[in-house]
Amino acid sequence: MPDVSQVHIDTALTNVSVAYRNRDYIADEVAPPVAVRKQSDRYFVYDPEREFLRATPDARSPGAEATEVDFKLSTDSYFCEDHALEAAIPDEERENADPPLQPDIDRTELLADKLALNREMALENLLRTAPGITARSLEPEEWWTTPDSDPLAQISRGCEAVFAGAQRRPNVAILPYAVFDALRNHPKIVERIKYTTAGVVSEQLLAQLLDIDRVLVPRAIKNLARRGQAPVCVPVWGNRAWLLYVAPRPALKQITAATTFVWSAAMGSVDGWLVERWREPRRKADMIRVQRYYDHKLVAPAAIYRFDNAIEQI
């Protein structure tokens, strides 16, 4: 390990990591980041008993007290764990790099991308395994690749379940690319839109048909093979689909499916990202470490509905 005095927080490379965005990832759209000043703390869950929705008599006789009402708060906690990866830049590579190559930036983007992939996988795992989320596993005759199935009716029932549980109509649908491709080519959907457009069914057009604000189509891929073996690449989000309510702007005192607490006050960090650089003479190499402090939290499980096996296994 390097001595603390040898480690330099590289602001320029930190800005590179913040600016780098792989558009295949959707974690920021599903669990929007919320900046926090402390690495760990507690937060309030607003009105879990839905007092705001309860009818209360408000008629008042002259001289009488008005009916008194109030709401309750429950609490939960977060801990922004340190997620970090590092890479070496040997002197030989730096000296022999052609002008288009930028070893420091290339390594920073590589590390930022791998951290983002890990975050994407962690969020998918949370939405797939967390208790409290309503889920339905579709049978083969119900798969969205089966011409006689009725995905529009299934999605409508999923929207009704979210509204009943969270009092919010889902405004986001997560449709992994293979699932999205099956939906936009399904006979019942093609029949519904064939007189409205001559082009292909886009995410925006499908969102309008489903009465949902956004259709997110994640294209992130993960390699399941061990190092040294032939790649085995599969979609991160598998063959499932999700309906969620995601608050338009992350804030306190609101219902939202999930959020990501990001420790923005970590020393030297920008939006929770931090890039450090130091020299290791024994290796004749410069070292770069990229890290981010965050914690995925499921805020309102009732605001999520999941379809397992929306299509056949990929």
Q: Is the pLDDT reported for residue 5 higher than 50?
A: no
Per-residue pLDDT tens digits for 184-241? 999 999 888 877 666 678 899 999 999 999 999 999 999 999 989 999 999 999 999 9
Among 90-94, 97-101, 197-201, 214-218, whose mean pLDDT is lowest?
97-101
Per-residue pLDDT tens digits for 234-273? 999 999 999 999 998 876 667 899 999 999 888 877 778 8
Binning the chain into helix, strand and coil, the percentages to the nearest 5 are 30, 25, 40
Per-residue pLDDT tens digits for 141-170? 999 999 999 999 999 999 999 999 999 999
Considering only CA atoms, which of 91, 85, 92 is closest in space to residue 108?
A: 85
Average pLDDT across the chain, whole number: 86
* Mean pLDDT within 166-186: 95
- The pLDDT of residue 13 is 77
- The pLDDT of residue 42 is 81
* H-only helix segments in 77-228: 91-96, 103-129, 151-166, 177-184, 187-193, 203-210
CATH fold group of domain 4-51+72-308: phage-related protein like fold (3.90.1690)
With 0.75 as the threshold, say if the pTM is over it. Answer: yes
CB 87 within 8 A of CB 107: yes
Per-residue pLDDT tens digits for 282-295? 999 999 999 999 99
Tokens describing residue 66? 């008005």
CB 269 within 8 A of CB 263: yes
> Where in the chain are the domains?
4-51+72-308
H or E segment at 135?
strand 134-137
Provide the CB-side half-sphere exposure for 289 (13 A, CA). Answer: 16
- The pLDDT of residue 266 is 82
Residue that wins the pLDDT comparison between 53 and 299: 299
Q: Is the pLDDT reported for residue 277 higher than 70?
A: yes
Phi and psi torsions of 102, nearest 5°? -130, 90
C-alpha dist (Å) from residue 104 to 111, 155, 207, 292, 314: 11, 46, 41, 18, 37
pLDDT band, residue 100 (cuts 50/70/90)? low
